[in-house]
């Protein structure tokens, strides 16, 4: 009943406003003529529509607006609509030629100078998107060399201390030399730095262990591998120091993670090590990964301890002990970082391209927006690799175009909720994303395509150079 009354009031209001419009138009014809009345009618109807929108309540779905997926379709069709030529929008009014009988008086020189408009010497500086992108790279992506050197020094010292601890705490377990690495060491570090990787290799007996693809296990995980114990009939359990971590005949990454997590959180004297190195070291007990938070004055960075199983001597594959769930909990995750870096470097070396610079720009932008932080280094690297082999210009002058092309590729991938791995198309790198996360990321990236400069806006109160 209330809805019916509201509609009746709206209808009466519309009729009253319509009568006012008719009265104005009828009198406007007498004063302004047909052309002036038409202009006045269009303006009056526009005002009426604005009033209707302001007075009529909107549905909840209308308030949210169209989804970013629908907007992307509208954007694709908007390019096909013909645009009127600029000259047709404002035709110059022809000047009235002076009468031949009227004498033309010469205009004084000083009056001509006063009528000529003076250009301001301080013209506003209008930068192109390419120039703004390069400025963003200089100010918020490039990491100072002094900070890079300090992070490397601290990471190396912590690696030596942690290696000495593992050898004293677990002398029966043959760990290899702990080696720090990651984007910072490969010149692929954006302003808000990725974690420093500290690899702890497991030295397995090659004749007692073999690698099984994840698709050949019950987990059916294409990116995972199982480490199977072999030769049990000739070398029973106990012959290898790693046999204590077997689950169902396979080396369990989950059991090893639990062992090392407890040791890092409770057994290592981090205050003493931090005092020796002049920094503060805290294990991140809330994370399922093995993370160490390091602080040295205003410098902060995260050190990720990664236990790895190297492949055969002829294979550069690395398998990570990663917190997996379900049937894959005991499997090992294949590390794509080494092959991603090698592929990017090879592509750039072929044509002196800027693919790695594009990756750094994408990382720097994603670190500045809360919704985009879910796009990690590997996701953005895969986007650049998908675009990297296209026959397009990869010079510095085309960096802005490649940036927008990467955003369009990401929006298209999010629409399909699929980002195939460049090295294994059966792996969907967006498979672990929730639908809400995909919608948030997709809407923000689509909005950035409309006005790309907004993605480059930086909160000055935020320290972009904190690792």
Q: How many domains does the chain have?
A: 2
Considering only 6-15, 294-303, 306-315, 437-446, which range has the smallest mean pLDDT? Answer: 6-15
DSSP helix/strand/coil, 251: strand
**How many angstroms from the chain centroid is the CA of residue 86?**
37
Does 386 reside within a domain?
A: yes
Does 34 reside within a domain?
A: no
* Residues 176, 305 within the same domain: yes
DSSP character at residue 194: P
Contacts of 455 (CB under 8 A, 6+ apart): 365, 368, 369, 448
CATH number of the domain residue 385 falls in: 1.10.1410.40
* Residues 200, 266 within the same domain: yes
- State the average pLDDT over residues 346-361: 92
Residue that wins the pLDDT comparison between 80 and 427: 427
* Residues 320, 358 within the same domain: no
Q: In the chain, how long is the greatest CA-to-CA distance?
A: 123
Q: Which pLDDT tens digit goes with each residue over 111-167?
A: 444 444 444 444 446 789 999 999 999 998 988 899 999 999 999 999 999 999 999
Does 402 reside within a domain?
A: yes
Give yes or no for a contact between 411 and 446, defined as CB atoms under 8 angstroms apart: yes
* Residues 197, 316 within the same domain: yes
* Residues 189, 317 within the same domain: yes
Q: Which pLDDT tens digit goes with each residue over 52-110?
A: 555 555 554 444 335 556 555 545 544 444 444 444 434 444 444 444 444 444 444 44
Give yes or no for a contact between 454 and 130, defined as CB atoms under 8 angstroms apart: no
Does 252 reside within a domain?
A: yes
Integer Cα distance of 334 and 214 in angstroms:
10
Confidence of residue 172 (pLDDT cuts 50, 70, 90): very high
Does 128 reside within a domain?
A: no
Of 306, 335, 364, the residue at which a domain comes to its end is 335
Q: Which pLDDT tens digit goes with each residue over 265-280?
A: 999 999 999 999 999 9
Does 291 reside within a domain?
A: yes
- State the average pLDDT over residues 289-306: 94
Give yes or no for a contact between 279 and 157, defined as CB atoms under 8 angstroms apart: no
Q: Which of 141, 118, 316, 329 is closest to 221 using CA atoms?
A: 329
Q: Which pLDDT tens digit goes with each residue over 362-413?
A: 999 998 788 898 998 999 999 999 998 888 899 999 999 999 999 999 999 9
Q: What is the pLDDT of residue 32?
A: 53
- Tell me the pLDDT of the chain averaged across its residues: 80
Axis crossing angle, helix 435-450 with helix 399-416, rounded to the nearest 10? 150
The pTM assigned to this predicted structure is 0.73
Residue 119: CB atoms within 10 A of its CB come to 7
* Residues 212, 279 within the same domain: yes
DSSP helix/strand/coil, 210: strand
Q: Quickly list DSSP for 281-336.
A: EEE-TTSSS-EEEEEETTEEEEEEEEEEEE--TT---EEE-----GGGTTSEEE--
Does 450 reside within a domain?
A: yes
* Residues 365, 413 within the same domain: yes
Q: What is the pLDDT of residue 334?
A: 95
* Residues 449, 328 within the same domain: no
CATH number of the domain residue 189 falls in: 3.30.460.90
Range of the domain at 330: 143-335
Q: What is the pLDDT of residue 180?
A: 96
Does 463 reside within a domain?
A: no
Integer Cα distance of 6 and 12 in angstroms:
10
Q: What is the pLDDT of residue 87?
A: 43
């Amino acid at each position: 009943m209330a809805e019916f009354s509201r509609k009746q009031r709206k209808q009466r209001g519309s009729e009253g406003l319509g009568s006012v419009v008719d009265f104005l138009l009828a009198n406007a014809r007498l004063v302004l003529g047909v052309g002036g009345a038409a202009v006045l009618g269009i303006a009056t109807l526009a005002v009426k529509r604005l009033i209707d929108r302001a007075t009529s309540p909107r549905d909840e779905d209308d308030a949210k607006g169209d989804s970013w997926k629908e907007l992307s379709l509208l954007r694709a069709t908007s390019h096909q609509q013909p645009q009127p030529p600029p000259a047709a929008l404002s035709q110059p009014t022809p000047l009235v030629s002076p009468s031949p009988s009227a004498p033309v008086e010469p205009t004084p020189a000083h009056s001509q100078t006063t009528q000529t408009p003076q250009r301001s010497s301080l013209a506003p500086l209008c930068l192109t998107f390419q120039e703004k992108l390069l400025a963003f790279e200089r100010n918020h992506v490039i990491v100072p060399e002094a900070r890079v050197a300090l992070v490397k020094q601290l990471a190396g010292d912590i690696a030596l201390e942690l290696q000495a601890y593992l050898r004293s705490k677990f002398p029966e377990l043959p760990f290899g030399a702990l080696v720090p690495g990651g984007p910072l060491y490969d010149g692929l570090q954006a302003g808000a730095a990725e974690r420093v990787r500290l690899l702890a290799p497991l030295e397995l007996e090659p004749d007692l262990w073999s690698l099984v693809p994840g698709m050949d296990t019950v987990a059916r995980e294409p990116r995972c591998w199982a480490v199977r114990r072999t030769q049990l009939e000739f070398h029973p359990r106990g012959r290898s120091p790693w046999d204590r971590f077997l689950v169902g005949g396979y080396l369990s990454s989950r059991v090893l993670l639990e062992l090392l997590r407890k040791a890092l959180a409770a057994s290592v004297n981090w205050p003493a090590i931090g005092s020796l190195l002049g920094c503060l070291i805290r294990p991140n007990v809330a994370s399922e990964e093995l993370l160490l938070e390091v602080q040295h004055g205003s410098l902060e960075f995260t050190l990720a301890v990664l236990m790895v199983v190297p492949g055969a001597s002829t294979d550069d594959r690395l398998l990570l002990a990663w917190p997996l769930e379900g049937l894959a909990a005991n499997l090992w995750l294949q590390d794509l970082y080494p092959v991603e870096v090698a592929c990017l470097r090879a592509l750039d070396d072929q044509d002196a391209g800027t693919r790695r610079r594009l990756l750094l720009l994408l990382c720097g932008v994603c670190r500045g927006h809360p919704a985009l932080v879910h796009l990690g280094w590997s996701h953005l690297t895969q986007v650049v690799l998908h675009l990297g082999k296209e026959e397009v210009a990869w010079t510095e002058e085309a960096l802005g175009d490649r940036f927008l092309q990467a955003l369009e590729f990401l929006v298209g991938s999010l629409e399909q909720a699929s980002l195939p791995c460049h090295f294994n198309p059966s792996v969907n790198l967006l498979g672990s994303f929730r639908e809400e996360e995909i919608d948030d990321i997709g809407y923000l990236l689509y909005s950035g395509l409309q006005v790309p400069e907004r993605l480059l806006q930086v909160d000055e109160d935020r320290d972009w150079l904190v690792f």
